[in-house]
Amino acid sequence: MAVIPLRRREGLKALLWLSPWLAGFGVFFAYPLLATVYFSFFKYDLFSLSFTGLDNYAYFLKDDRAWISIRNTAWLVVVMVPAQVLFALGVAQLVTRLKAGVGFFRTVFYLPSLIPVTAGTVAFVFLMNPATGPVNRILGLAGVQGPDWFGDKDWSKPGLTLLAMWGVGNLMVIFLAALLDVPRHLYEAAAIDGAGAWRQFRSITLPTIRPVLMFSAVTGVIYTLQYFTQAMIAARVASGTTDAPGTAFTPGYPEMSTLTLPQWLFQTGFRDYTMGYACVLALVLFAASLVFTLILLRQFRGFEEVAS
């Protein structure tokens, strides 16, 4: 009987232990990715397949909607993610400073994240309705002419950002835990050394909560690159479009300002059945996720070096 060398036996054992992950990776990541690359060179309507070379890629370059959706998605990544992170961090800081009613405020700030996304978005659009919504009425009482929020292309994305900030409860709880984890004696020592609040925050709080910040930034970016539901619902409700024959719903209302890349991907793939082209958009989205994540990882590594 042939004896299997120890190294090979170890290798097989490792493979055996890894096999569930390998199977999952293969079925849910590698295969879809390979299939996406493959189909991107074809005209594919789910029924017939014909090779078109780089036609889908050429169409992407001149598809103004795709570029608009990329710009909108980039806007959300650049503005919405930092706004969410900073707001959550700010709220968590405030809550940790409270002398009384900590439990109450923690609950109040966390509550919005328990509301289903659909209901929350619909409610937000109603609240910010320029004609009947209380937000603009209150602004009016203060002498400010409220904008048309989800009906104005310049205000729709800021409106979505406010919606995201309102539902920041989960992130706030994570920051709260991280902030409470910072050793108190460091602050006390810094205070004795004459460090002010800003200096303490910069030199003690930030480096300590760095892993949490990185986690929230990376997950925030990935989540925002997939931003779909809230934009779709807000556009639908604000446009007032219904599902009647001959009535086409326009994602991105108003004037394509809320059209994100995942929405355009969905529209081209599952509404227009141009699956080959949708695969090109999926690859662009994948590449963008990869690039943003790498940039963030690199940034935080740099930050870590400076801090240490």
Partner 1 sequence: MRFVPLAAAGLAVLSLAAFTTGCTAGKEGGPALGSQPKASNTAPSAIPAATIELWHGFSADSEVKAFTDAIAGFNKLYPQITVKMVKGVQDEQITQAVRGGHAPDVASSFTTDSVAAWCKQGVFQDLNPIIKQDGVDLSGLPPVVDTYTQFDGKRCVMPLLTDAYGLYYNKALMKGNQPPRTLSELTKLAKELTVRNADGTIKVAGFIPSGQYYENGASHLGAMVGAKWTNPDGTSAIGSDPAWKTLLNWQKELVDWYGYANLDKFRKSLGDEFSGKHPFYEGKVAMGIDGEWRVAMLANEAPKLDYGTAPVPVDDARPDLYGSGFTAGTVIGVPKGAKNPEAAWALVKYLATDTGALVTLSNAIRNVPTTKAALESPDLKKDENFQTFLDIFANPRTTTVPAHVNSVFNQEALQTFMTSWEKGSAKDLDAGLKDVDKRIDDKLKLSGG
Residues contributing to the site for partner 1 (CB under 8 A): 8, 11, 14-15, 18, 22, 26-27, 30-31, 34-35, 38, 43, 45-50, 55-56, 59, 62-64, 129-132, 148, 151, 153, 239-250, 252-256, 270-274, 277
What is the spatial distance between Cα 155 and Cα 207, in angstroms, rounded to a whole number?
A: 35
User: For partner 1, which is the closer residue by CB, 4 or 180?
Assistant: 4
**Closest CB to partner 1 among 116 and 246?**
246
138 or 307: CB nearest partner 1: 138
Closer to partner 1 at the Cβ: 34 or 86? 34
Contact 139, 146 (CB under 8 A): yes
Query: Min. distance of Cβ 240 from partner 1 in angstroms?
Result: 7
Distances 50 to 53, 56, 266, 275 between C-alpha atoms, Å:
9, 12, 21, 12
Write down the least CB distance from residue 197 to partner 1, Å. 45
Q: How far is the CB of 120 from partner 1 (least distance, A)?
A: 19
CA distances in angstroms from 251 to 231, 237, 287, listed in the order given: 8, 11, 23
Distance CA 275, CA 42 (A): 8
DSSP string, 165-194: HHT-HHHHHHHHHHHHTS-HHHHHHHHHTT
Query: Within 10 Å of residue 279's Cβ, how many Cβ atoms?
Result: 23
Nearer to partner 1, 26 or 90 (CB): 26
Cβ 204 to partner 1 shortest distance, Å:
44
Residue 189 CB, nearest approach to partner 1 (Å): 49
